[in-house]
Amino acid sequence: MEIVSYNVNGIRAALKKGFLEWLASHNPSIICIQETKAQESQIDTPLFEELGYHCYWFSAEKKGYSGVGILTKEKPENIEYGIGMEKFDKEGRNLRADFKNFSVMSMYLPSGTNTDRLEYKFEYMDTLHTYLSDLKKTFPNLIVCGDYNICHQAIDIHDPVRNVTVSGFLPEERAWLDTFVENGFVDSFRYLNKSPHQYSWWSYRANARNNNKGWRLDYAMVTMPLKQNIENVDILNEIKHSDHCPISVTLKL
């Protein structure tokens, strides 16, 4: 079963750039979407249903901002919107689909573009850590896909020296990912692929994508019991509907 995660940087904009055609061709079992930037009523859901997907959306209260989605070929047993904290849920950052033997979350972790948002990001990270620690007790087979807005190691960013004071590569953010992994999650991509220069986001400035000056911000983290089920991982960097590209993990489930 292939699970794809993709920050589309606006679902309506991505559709105009060929996202639907790519999805039909690639045909993953599940795709977790972040940054839809749309209310559910603004998304042409029947387009995805025609491809055989059950569609679920969790939008931010603020229009044109944030928002996550899950498209799945198999109908889930349960859908969970948010993590039960209004402060974070009003930004549409977490959506979970529960199946018989596993659970998948689409997550959009905040960026820390200024002091206020950085404080919000750290508060969200602490809250999420507690939430997922409890959730693993109910769903030991858990996949948390999404835009984490953090590069974990120096290998995951094109310029680790000059970016060490930039949100997304701060020591405190990276330490949080260390704790995330120590708490029983596996970075599925790095489990199979140790190569450098593997990125999932590039700035629109300075021809960064063509020069591959990027950041690996997108992850498919799986709980330890699923480690042995990881069959393949990929960063689909040739796909260009967004400033991010899709990532994927194939699990034997």
- Side-chain-side CA neighbours of residue 93 (13 Å): 22
Contacts of 144 (CB under 8 A, 6+ apart): 105, 107, 132, 185, 219, 220, 221, 222
- Other CB atoms within a 10 A radius of the CB of residue 246 amount to 27
One-letter amino acid at 100 equals: K
Q: What is the C-alpha separation between 253 and 251, in angstroms, rounded?
A: 6
Which candidate in 98, 147, 156, 218 is catalytic? 147
Neighbouring CB atoms inside 10 A of 123's CB total 14
Residue 147 known to be catalytic = yes
Task: Give the per-residue SS3 of 106-173.
Answer: EEECCCCCCHHHHHHHHHHHHHHHHHHHHHHHHCCCEEEEEECCCCCCHHHECCCCCCCCCCCCCHHH
Closest CA to 118 of 199, 176, 74, 45: 176
Which of the residues are catalytic?
147
